[in-house]
Amino acid sequence: MSHPVSIPFKSASAAGVVSVSPTSSTLHERMRQNSLASPSVRQPKALHPIENENLRLLLVENISQGAVKAFQSQGWHVDHQAKAMSEDELVEKIGQYHAIGIRSKTKITERVIKAASKLLVIGCFCIGTNQVDLATAAKAGIPVFNSPFSNSRSVAELVISEIVALSRQYFERGYEMRQGLWNKQSKNCWEVRGKTLGIVGYGHIGSQLSVLAEAFGMRVLFYDVVNLMPLGSARQVDSLTTLLTESDFVTLHVPEIPETLNLISKTQLAQMKDGSYLINNARGRVVDIPALIEAVKSGHIAGAALDVYPAEPGANGSPFNDQLNAWSSELRSLKNIILTPHIGGSTEEAQRMIGEEVSGALTRYLTFGSTLSAVNFPEVDLRAIALEEANHVRICYVHLNQPGVLKQVNEVLSPYNVEKQYSDSKGDTAYLMADIADVSLQDVNRLRELISHTSANILTRLLACTDLAAICEICQRRQSPRTDLKNPFGIMAEGFSAFVHWPTAPLTDSLVRKASSAIHTTPTFLDRPTADGKKLLQWASYDSIDHDLTLGNQVDVLSSSYIIRKALIRKHFLSRCIHAHLLKHPESALRNAVPQTWDLDISFADELDDMWADELWDLGKDMDESEAEGKGKWWILKPGMADRGNGIRLFNSKDALQKIFEGFEEDESDGDVGDAEDVDAAPLKDDTAVVTSQLRHFVIQVTSFLIDCFWQRAHSVALVLMQDYILSPLLLDPYQFPVNGGPSNKPEDLKGYKFHLRAYCVASGALKLYLYTRILGLFSSEPFGVPHVAPEDEPSAISLAPHLTNTSLQTHRGEEGVRLFDELVGCHILSGDEQERLTLTAEHIADIQNQMADVLAETFRAALGTAIHFQALPNAFELYGIDFLVSHVPSAASTSPKFQVKILEVNAEPAIELTGPRLTWILEDLFKSIGTVCVEPFFQQDEESASELWAVGETRHYLRKCLEAEVRGAGGW
């Protein structure tokens, strides 16, 4: 259901709540404030963008929490992160967002805009907009808003402080004091009173700066390409040369455009007075920095202050070195050079005001269609629809600026009463807003379809009150988002039925129903699976599916689970099928992707004595050598049928393993295993207590069952896996980028946490395999360390909290331990060679994802090789959760990749609720993608048209195709 939109009266002018002209907003603001005080004036009605609850916004570069809260108050989903994003990251993510907020580091390029199929608006939470391809955005129907005034005072004050700091050299004196050196001197230190300040660019910042400088007793000159009225006693000069030759301090406040690139270079620096100072808080490429370095070295320029640079790091804590800018180290070595990390507008006041201004502009566009103050777009606004004006719809129509368009639109609107209408153009883009009265529910889709199919359409949006908003689609772009299909309109067979039933997974049930309804022909939902003459979709839990229907009708029934798949989802079966596959295919990617594994059937601890001489001989030899030579190797014990981290133990010797099994038997001898509900309800003191209570309870239950069966002379065993424990995992600190935009850990406070990657993959038919490219990182609750236990201690004394990464055992942490892998770009890598400290890059993640795809494909090939335990069906598909670990290979291993992916386990019906509310959107997109790729083609009449070639390695709908195999038999099994 749509959420009500609340626009405070104090900001109503910009919201377009009452009729305004782009050139008369001040007058209308005064009228509005007076009229709103009168009870006889009609009150405005809040409009809603269509499917208001599904609007999703991405805010990067640590945009203020005030903006985040403003958007969330509208009922919109907001993803907020502290760091900037690269072009590749944006191309991967931007397709799911309707709005994005950036600052100066994130670049919105033509490539990004082409990938932004849903993007409606861009907000630059700063002054400049050169980081956005404005022309391409306009052509795509995307207005761009910025905040040209809000941080002006902050930048002006910074410049004043830099003028004083440079003239008194107190940055140098302060540094010397920190080094323990007392160096009191007055040589080449000056008062600023009576000096001349030259301002290049007399806009909002430059004009405020001139007032502050005059208050210090400075003489102010300014140069601008436009004739402007000076404030105070400032004087405009006719050329840049005049300003440079007369000024003691030169400060730059110009945009980055072709005309200003290297505005201050070797020639201009030579024109400046001997012993003068240069300040740049504008844009990094306005100054030729190598030329500045030479001028400072020669003594011609006495000092400089730089807050901006041609290339800047993407995240706090990143290095500012010669790899970023070739001259960085040389610049840092100069005396009386003030270098700051682009903090001109970084004050609490400026960020608050920027957040308010830009979030207000984006909200007004999304909710009312107003483009007032857009920098690349026609500025259009309409007065509000009043509360008593029921059944009104606002049409927001972005189109090519060409003759005849308004005639086409007015022909569509001619049957209706057009209450008000306004149109304007800017370059090749035009924008029309119109309010239509007395629109019925049946009319809404007709209006949208007719207007969006006009020849000049770029983007058509319909805004409505709550009642109408619920029935419309969000927008209609000129280019269909389904151009990758030969059958773009999804021609379906005449109706089909759907059985959806997830009794213990309400989130999955909700996502499945939403994804099923998003298919072009909405199914009829059934309470139980039945063959009623229609095609049937069984998208339900394994136990709820009627598997006889799946096997009996491969043409008309599609089910969401394979029937036989033990080879994947049981640890011991998976281990055995991979082992068998490697014997046949020793070159397989699985060779280095699976830790050495032993699986055994054991009932009692004393059976280990015989096993050391038989099936565990290799393991025993390895343990003896490790203990004798001090190698420090460890192994991990996993029950073959347990899930969610239950039953795990670490050990490093035969004696330790013996004690683990003896401990299980001792616990059983206590008699009462307790009540599971009591264990879950017990207060949890720390992460170790969580692990111990849950694991011991599980193992006791298994041991009790085995002993009872033994006395009944029934054959029963425990299935256990033992693996080499990886002591070199990739380590990151998730608290470097807190999930809620809070303060991040300083570099010296970072700690390495172990994590595993949770990837979702979808197997379809017999057999295609897809990897969902939005991968999660699940972190341990404590920093990683090599396991340690004193010889006299029991193995249970080892704290598992630094080693277990399953979030089901960390419920007290909330969502802190769950991150999108892509969100971790820029994190310091805290594992591997300490001399090789790196940050995680998008290229690292791409390499890891490539390895995951290869390992996943080989794992399913291995499963297909054990037909008795995995049988692919042509009329089935299934979602799996795959757990991977990334080991950090030391740099000495030069022939190996730096990061090595290890597969841990495969889970059917994965516990997706552990993803947490913050990242639920990736699950929504996952299930929609499954509907599009696995379900919809099955029910299309023209199957050939729906099966366009999709190459292995290609990504569509955020699903990367990993494998396409033909299983023997006609159409599968």
pLDDT along the chain (973 residues), means of 10: 33 32 35 40 50 75 87 87 89 92 92 92 90 94 91 92 93 87 89 96 93 96 93 95 96 91 95 96 94 96 95 83 91 93 88 90 92 94 77 90 91 90 94 89 76 89 64 45 32 69 91 83 82 85 92 90 90 85 90 79 73 79 78 74 62 78 59 35 34 31 30 42 76 83 74 92 94 93 79 67 70 74 88 74 91 95 89 94 87 61 91 84 91 88 54 91 77 43
User: Phi and psi for 866 in degrees, rounded to 5?
Assistant: -115, 75
Q: What is the pLDDT of residue 686?
A: 40
User: Phi and psi for 88 in degrees, rounded to 5?
Assistant: -65, -40
For 504-527, give the DSSP string. Answer: T-HHHHHHHHHHHHTSSSPPEEES
User: Phi and psi for 132 in degrees, rounded to 5?
Assistant: -115, 135
Condensed to tens digits (0 to 9), the pLDDT of residues 100-114 reads 999 888 999 999 999
Cα of first residue to Cα of last residue in the chain, in angstroms, is 44
Q: What is the pLDDT of residue 812?
A: 59
Backbone torsion region of residue 779, taken as left when φ is above 0, otherwise alpha when ψ lies between -120 and 50, otherwise beta: beta
Bridge partners, residue 608, by sequence = none
Q: What is the pLDDT of residue 534?
A: 80
Among 486, 481, 483, which Cα is nearest to 949's?
486
Q: What is the pLDDT of residue 699?
A: 30
Q: Which amino acid is at 731?
A: L
CB 858 within 8 A of CB 800: no
Q: Measure the CA dihedral 97/103/106/112, to 10°.
A: 40
CB 210 within 8 A of CB 257: no
Q: What is the pLDDT of residue 494?
A: 53
User: Any alpha helices (H) in 49-187, and if so which ranges?
Assistant: 65-72, 87-93, 110-115, 134-139, 152-168, 170-178
Q: What is the pLDDT of residue 969?
A: 52
Q: What is the pLDDT of residue 142?
A: 96
Q: Measure the CA dihedral 667/669/670/675, to 10°.
A: 70
Q: Are strands 249-252 and 235-236 parallel, antiparallel or unpaired?
A: unpaired
In this structure, the number of other CB atoms found within 10 A of the CB of residue 720 comes to: 24
Q: Please pick, among 342, 565, 888, 957, the residue that the annotation labels catalytic.
A: 342
In this structure, the number of other CB atoms found within 10 A of the CB of residue 376 comes to: 23
Rounded to an integer, what distance in angstroms lies between the CA atom of residue 900 and that of residue 718? 31
Rounded to an integer, what distance in angstroms lies between the CA atom of residue 771 and that of residue 763? 9
Distances (CA, A) of 19 to 45, 358, 369, 917: 13, 21, 13, 40
Q: What is the pLDDT of residue 742?
A: 61
Q: What is the pLDDT of residue 903?
A: 92
Whole-model pTM?
A: 0.54
Q: Which amino acid is at 667?
A: D
> 356-372 burial, b if ≥16 CB within 10 A, otherwise e?
bbbbbbbbbbbbbbbbb
CB 458 within 8 A of CB 477: yes
Condensed to tens digits (0 to 9), the pLDDT of residues 434-444 reads 999 888 766 77
Q: What is the pLDDT of residue 381?
A: 92
Q: Please pick, among 246, 312, 356, 419, the residue that the annotation labels catalytic.
A: 312
Among 777, 736, 739, which Cα is nearest to 755's?
777
As separate numbers, helices (DSSP H) first and strands (DSSP E) second, the chain gives: 29, 34
Q: Please pick, among 77, 283, 477, 844, the residue that the annotation labels catalytic.
A: 283
- The secondary structure element, H or E, covering residue 207 is helix 204-215
For 243-311, give the DSSP string. Answer: HHHH-SEEEE-----GGGTTSB-HHHHHHSPTTEEEEE-S-GGGB-HHHHHHHHHHTSEEEEEE---SS
User: Is 913 one of the catalytic residues?
Assistant: no
User: Is 697 one of the catalytic residues?
Assistant: no
User: Is 342 one of the catalytic residues?
Assistant: yes
